[in-house]
Structure 1
Amino acid sequence: MNTDSFYANLPRNRAFASLSAPESFAPLPPDWHLGCTDIVNSTGLAAAGRYKTVNMIGAAVIAAIRNALQGEAFPYIFGGDGASFAVPPRHREAAEQVLAGLRSWTEAEYGITLRAAMLPLRWIRAEGLEVRIARYAVSEHADFAMFSGGGLAWAEAQMKAGAFEVPPAPGTGPPDLSGLSCRWSNTPARNGIILSVVAQPAPDADPQAFARLTSQLVDLAGELDSNGHPVPATGPKLRFPPAGLTLEAKSSRGRTPLILRQLYLLAHSAFTGLIFAARRPVGAFDPVHYLSVLKANSDFRKFDDGLKMTLDCTPAIRDRIRHHLQQAADAGLVHFGLHEQDAAMVTCIVPSPVADDHVHFVDGAQGGYTQAAANLAAAFGVSRKTG
């Protein structure tokens, strides 16, 4: 049976809260392959003030695979300091080539080591685990994959132990990262705290009990303005010169000298900044509409073998979230990590600024999911999913 159309045929769910239910997910076809990446010492890089670079590299994995697949929809998830995805067998070789090239490029451009692994789903199922997928439609034109079943977490742990490695490929050309952008400035918390939440089911936890817990957490976030979405309706700020200009220049320069690409992006950013400041359409581009779509198409909450959220949070809701999680942890249901910071960051993939299918990855600006996962590991002694 041809399973290539599995993801394209999955229903798009518009209600995030309903994704707490295990039955919202469908098992990945048995002949598919899972890929995962993460950055070595991402916690140290975050502490050194390089977390924007960490996020950029994590999003670069998704951009490169998207471009290699020529825009064909596939399940992926952004993890802060890496990304994971699944592809049908006909795309396995292409995905491996992209990962191998990314590993060499990341080391050469940023001096950062990227891990990468690929493995067939059957090896995960041989461990008694599963990879189940759902599609969460954040808008009419964009959706994100959600993962459950424990298989992705196991694959990431195996990758960190050195298994299923995709080795780097020195001498390959630069990856095609068309559309990848990180020019936006960090977005300050409006409610006092940007709270990064990572909650994973404990081993042998009852799936229905964990589903009830995640539903409670989503409901708590729902008491916040815009469900705790860190990006305001007016969008993040675009200051000049952009904070991520050099990062974007390195990702998009190809074989062009870095300084020339920086100068081009500097001029382009100045022109773009004027358009956003005027808030008036220029040709087919409407900056006000673009910002509204940016907010709608952002992944500030997700199911990733557990629940992850980046919330613009009040102290009172933070305390209630921590209380629920601690009660569940004491009952042996969950492992969790929290991290507080004063701003969020956004990294973008924009194939075309005049189309509405651009997507945006949200994380805390000072460690985010990476530090929340480190706090989880420190508290419970479990294998970290991030970092």
Structure 2
Amino acid sequence: MAQDDFYKNLSPSKDFAALTRSGAFTPLPRDWMVGCCDIVNSSELIAKGRYKTVNTIGASAIAAMINAMRGTSFPYIFGGDGASFAVPPEFADTARDVLSRLRSWASAEFDIDLRAALLPVSWIRAEGLDVTVARYAVSDAADYAMFSGGGLTWAEQQMKAGGFQVAPAELPDPPDLTGLSCRWNTIPARNGMILSVVVQPVPGAPSGSFERITSEVLAVAEQLQRSGHPVPAEGPDFSFPPPGIDLEARIFRGQGSVIWKKLQVFLISAFAAFALSRKKPLAGFDASHYRHMLAANADYRKFDDGLKLTLDCPEDVRAALADILERAAAARLVRYGLHQQDEALVTCIVPSVMRDDHVHFVDGAAGGYTQAALQMSAGMTSAVA
């Protein structure tokens, strides 16, 4: 098969729990390229209340790559303050150009230092690790890549140490971020808290131990209403003017000042607010259906060299999860982090509101995955309010 058909031809699974089983993932072709990026000192931005900006810049790499790939399917995953992806070798220059321009754009627009790296899968395998991938269908219209094998984590560690760096572009055109948006309100917890969960296997742990532990964690989550999905089935609330209007003006592709772009976003948002307030379709756009699909397509759970969850849950479920994971950590089978907050947020990539294939990245609204991962790295395993 053609290299760029590899990911497209993987069969999506509708059973998330099945992804805990051995054999659920397929190795990437050895000459594919892995790209990743993340924000330097994102915890400082979070402490200043800029996590919506952090999430938007994290998702920008995915939006820019989707637009640059022009319809070619490729695996990607959102990590809160960054993202990772893989592409066939013929798109290596495309990926490098996108990452280079993103670094310059993040610096110029937000005064934020975005790291980026690009390297071949073969170099990761030379380290005794792998990058394997699966497709999880969240609905009939959308699916997300899941990653395993330890290779992405290693690549990100190398990036943070300065390896495989993609340099910022000089005098670049802004990246094409068409479809990236951040207009929805944050989503309050309905059952007690929004809990961000990050779990990774410890290298050298007995075979099958991680699968057993993640199965236990998912069994607890399955007892929750809608498996702990933090986005209401009817979708999140939308207010006007939207809370992210200044942020969206800075990602809006077009000429002119930020003030002019903000006016354009304001007018677009006004029309969206009017359409969303109606009880019947407007010019072919069914707002109720769109919001339902937003919830259906949201990525509140994923495998990213480990398990990541964003759950709407009560305290007793947090305690049950912490008990499972603390015992596993004491046995040196996993590393984990838990971070609790009052709200979740969504960052969206919407190629067209008239189609159902829009994707929505879910995270906790007060640090989420970034804070949980920091706890894991520091060996702090108790949940933090």
TM-score over 0.5 for the alignment? yes
CA distance in 2, matches of 1:245, 1:216: 41
Give secondary structure in 2 for the equivalent of 1:23.
coil
Letter in 1 for 2:349: I
Instruction: Name the residue aligned to 1:263.
Output: 263
Letter in 2 for 1:29: P
Q: Would the alpha carbon gap of residues 96 and 196 (structure 1) be closer, same or farther in structure 2, given more than 3 Å must change?
A: same
Instruction: Name the residue aligned to 1:148.
Output: 148
Instruction: Name the residue aligned to 2:134.
Output: 134
The answer to whether the 8 Å contact 1:7/1:73 transfers is: yes
Instruction: Name the residue aligned to 2:192.
Output: 192
Deviations 1:265-288 (A, max 9, x none): 112212211221223210211001
TM-score normalized with structure 1 length: 0.97
Give secondary structure in 1 for the equivalent of 2:302.
strand
Deviations 1:311-341 (A, max 9, x none): 0011111100000000100111000000000
CA distance in 2, matches of 1:193, 1:113: 31
Instruction: Name the residue aligned to 2:57.
Output: 57
Q: Does 2:266 match 1:276? A: no
Deviations 1:170-216 (A, max 9, x none): 20101100000000010000001000000000121234110011111
| Residue correspondence of structure 1 range 29-68 to structure 2 within 5 A | 29-68=29-68
The answer to whether the 8 Å contact 1:37/1:116 transfers is: yes
| Residue correspondence of structure 1 range 76-225 to structure 2 within 5 A | 76-225=76-225
Cα shift at 1:255: 2.7
Q: Percent same amino acid among aligned pairs? A: 57
Unaligned runs of 5+ in 2: none
Instruction: Name the residue aligned to 1:252.
Output: 252
Q: In angstroms, what is the RMSD of aligned CA positions?
A: 1.1
The answer to whether the 8 Å contact 1:22/1:207 transfers is: no
CA distance in 1, matches of 2:242, 2:2: 46
Deviations 1:342-377 (A, max 9, x none): 000000000000100100000000000000011111
Instruction: Name the residue aligned to 2:314.
Output: 314
CA distance in 2, matches of 1:6, 1:253: 31
The answer to whether the 8 Å contact 2:116/2:166 transfers is: yes
TM-score normalized with structure 2 length: 0.97
Cα shift at 1:2: 4.1
Cα shift at 1:380: 6.2
Instruction: Name the residue aligned to 2:5.
Output: 5
CA distance in 2, matches of 1:93, 1:22: 34
CA distance in 1, matches of 2:8, 2:271: 37
CA distance in 2, matches of 1:230, 1:207: 32
Cα shift at 1:71: 2.4
The answer to whether the 8 Å contact 2:337/2:380 transfers is: no
Give secondary structure in 2 for the equivalent of 1:363.
strand
CA distance in 2, matches of 1:13, 1:174: 36
Q: How many residues get paired?
A: 381
Deviations 1:119-145 (A, max 9, x none): 001110000001000000111111000
CA distance in 2, matches of 1:11, 1:251: 34
CA distance in 2, matches of 1:182, 1:213: 34
Instruction: Name the residue aligned to 2:352.
Output: 352
The answer to whether the 8 Å contact 1:174/1:255 transfers is: no
Unaligned runs of 5+ in 1: 382-387
